[in-house]
Amino acid sequence: MMAVELYAAHRGASTISAGTLWMSETTSDLKGFVDVAAIGELSPDEGRIVEADGTWLALFLADGTPHAIANACPHMAGPLGSGRCLDGIVTCPIHEWRFDVRTGQAPTNSYTRVATYETRVVDGRVFVRMADPGEGAANL
């Protein structure tokens, strides 16, 4: 995903949200992606639990960009989307394991991670790629 103002202006910017001008993409760029939320529904300090193709995801806004991870904590399946998020690090509400929502990596344990999913923003909507989840999905 790109948030380059000049490129967005060239292609036709679609949405202004949280100081970011998102570029417009065509629907042909979205094969395998699922529409899960409006970008304006996300805030930097709390997650949002969404369902995409039968999978529960936790959606966050970090560094002005939406990020999607598996909602089930790898410890005991706590709802990561209900955890508090600070500077891109979500804390599981059950036993307080922490994960970087940008990478899925636990900051204090290199062996623990949660699946990540590619996101894109088109016309103010957040899309998550479900056809080929990112690194870490196989560990769950």
Binding site for ligand FES (CB under 6 A): 73, 75-76, 78, 92, 94-95, 97
Q: How many CB atoms lie within 10 A of CB 29?
A: 11
Q: Which of 59, 19, 20 is nearest to 42 (CA)?
A: 59
In whole angstroms, the minimum distance from the beta carbon of 49 to ligand FES comes to 14
Nearer to ligand FES, 15 or 116 (CB): 116
- Is the Cβ of residue 73 or residue 128 nearer to ligand FES in the bound state? 73
Q: Given the complex with ligand FES, which of 92 and 130 has the nearer CB atom? A: 92
Closer CB to ligand FES, 21 or 94, in the complex: 94
Give yes or no for a contact between 130 and 32, defined as CB atoms under 8 angstroms apart.
yes
Structure tokens at 89: 């690090």
> At closest approach, how far in Å is the CB of 113 from ligand FES?
13
Say which amino acid occupies 9: A
Under DSSP, the state recorded for 27 is G
Least distance from ligand FES to the Cβ atom of residue 80, Å: 7
Cα(76)–Cα(125) distance, integer angstroms = 31
Minimum CB separation from ligand FES for residue 34, in Å? 25
